[in-house]
Structure 1
């Protein structure tokens, strides 16, 4: 028969196991999706083929790495719980866009990496809350334009990387508020130096030459340095296409004046039809690893509860006999 001391020890061991299981569900260190360090508050979720951000990341995380996954989109509230983050890396994913407000709660963020994704545009004011940001990398994306004022709140920014994109111009005043900037990469963009929109960038580079590293490398599509462009060379008043698609008025007039029998039936893309009906994709769906983690965590928790209950019943039974 098991003595009362041994039974009590068993109870303690099982209780500890239950507590460990509960803590493990918060951030697994061995065999889980992410690797966590309690001392440094670092969480590494890289190389995990994630299609969504794991839901079990501790909210006091200081450094979060989500590199080399399969993230193609982010919910607008993806990082709302991580108010203590100072470092966030989203490199080498498949992000095509960023939702408005996705970084609004990251008021302590100092470093943001979004290299080697597929971003074609940025939401207006997407970085406005990142007033402590010192390093921003948007290299190796497909950015065709920048929203006006997108960098206006980044007065502490020291390094800005936007090389290897599809930028032909930047908005007037795009860099005027970057008072702390010391390094910038602008090269390997198809800067269009035939349009007068380029004159702001050309003038800014000349003013910052010798003060900001890397600016001289910006070249036009004809290989001429952007800083050398004159008003005579950039004389055209170019209009660039935007992402807004409008129906030409001639088509509207024609359709309005036609008989119903003459109007052909046009196929409606499924995604447009869903938008018309107000359908929205859910912000977050659990990934397969997350589901497996949830199931295994639940089973482990249930097993611990069963064992703990058995130990308690045994102790009570033994005490009654005594």
Structure 2
């Protein structure tokens, strides 16, 4: 009776090995879907039609690319084992929200790409642990407001993109703790004015894009911005002349107190809560760096299911090496089953 017992053990071992191989295969050379460099510290899972983040990304990974996929949500602990990440791209997905604390372990992160998603809001303190962040792309989303102090801990930030959203107002002091910021993109939103002092702390700013917002030059709430832009234009700051009044055809920096005599009620007085989600009549966006790359629909790869990321359906064509490995496992498993039946029949 030892024969069937040994065969059964062999069957269990082979099955366990195959399951382990399926779960651990991440890089293409191992039968997975992502591209990895030799040390696996750079993992590229972009354009793979993933519906969730693979659970087996090596802990030593420093660069992770997850753009051009079909991610609609993130687990709160999706990146908690990746504390060495310095670069993370999640652009061109379907994210509508971010869970609280999802980035809290990424204390070494320098670049975060969240552009081309469907984010409508940001949780308070979502970026508070990212104290080494230098680049943050939030453009091409549906943000209607920003939490108070959302950028307060990002003291090393040099490039911030908020263009092509639905921002109607900015919180007081939203940029007050960004002394190293060199580029700020606010074009193509629904801003009519900004709170007094909004730009005063941006001592390193080289370029500012403000065009394609409905700047209201009839209300005296625009005067702070007009005077600041005029002063910075004389100092050579780029982009200050891109802010144009919604009516009258003037540049905001040319507006005087006489032009903006009315004491209007501005949405900026409530800072964070939008009163409307009306889309501007015309949205013109000409930043060549922001051209969206179409998804590669001809590629289909393996997806994962929340929360444990186990495969749920065959969405990929496995690599040749993975396919051969699978066939070998199936052949050995079949042989073991026949071996079991053979001894059972003799018994």
What's the TM-score, normalizing by structure 1?
0.68
Aligned twin of 1:284:
none
SS at match of 1:291: coil
| Aligned counterparts of 2:173 and 2:253: Cα–Cα separation in 1 | 22
| Aligned counterparts of 2:229 and 2:212: Cα–Cα separation in 1 | 16
RMSD: 3.0
Matching residue within 247, 250, 262 for 1:224: 250
- Alpha-carbon distance, 1:53 to partner: 2.9
Matching residue within 124, 143, 157 for 2:148: 124
Aligned twin of 2:281:
none
Q: Which one has more relative contact order, counting CA pairs under 8 Å at least 6 apart? A: 2
Instruction: State whether residues 193 and 266 of structure 2, in contact with CA within 8 Å, keep that contact through their aligned partners in structure 1.
Output: no
Structure 1 residues 43 and 171, CA, compared in 2 at 3 Å: closer, same or farther? same
Structure 1 residues 56 and 192, CA, compared in 2 at 3 Å: closer, same or farther? closer
Structure 1 residues 228 and 33, CA, compared in 2 at 3 Å: closer, same or farther? farther
- Alpha-carbon distance, 1:34 to partner: 6.2
- Alpha-carbon distance, 1:18 to partner: 9.9
- Alpha-carbon distance, 1:186 to partner: 0.6
Aligned twin of 2:73:
52
- Alpha-carbon distance, 1:51 to partner: 1.1
SS at match of 2:213: coil
Aligned twin of 1:29:
27
- Alpha-carbon distance, 1:20 to partner: 7.8
| Aligned counterparts of 1:146 and 1:109: Cα–Cα separation in 2 | 21
Query: Within 5 Å, which residues of 2 pair with 1:87-166?
Result: 87-166=111-190
SS at match of 1:43: strand
Instruction: State whether residues 34 and 44 of structure 1, in contact with CA within 8 Å, keep that contact through their aligned partners in structure 2.
Output: no
Q: Unaligned regions of 5+ residues in structure 1, if any?
A: 1-15, 246-287, 298-303, 308-322
Once the two structures are superposed, what CA deviation does each residue of 1:115-164 show, in whole Å capped at 9, x if it has no partner? Answer: 10000110001000100000000010010000000000000100000000
Q: Does 1:169 align with 2:190?
A: no
SS at match of 1:289: coil
Instruction: State whether residues 169 and 274 of structure 2, in contact with CA within 8 Å, keep that contact through their aligned partners in structure 1.
Output: no
| Structure index of larger Rg | 1
- Alpha-carbon distance, 1:35 to partner: 5.3
Q: Unaligned regions of 5+ residues in structure 2, if any?
A: 1-16, 43-61, 276-301, 313-328, 333-347
- Alpha-carbon distance, 1:289 to partner: 3.3
Aligned twin of 2:304:
290
- Alpha-carbon distance, 1:86 to partner: 0.2
Q: Does 1:233 align with 2:254?
A: no
- Alpha-carbon distance, 1:48 to partner: 1.2
SS at match of 1:88: strand
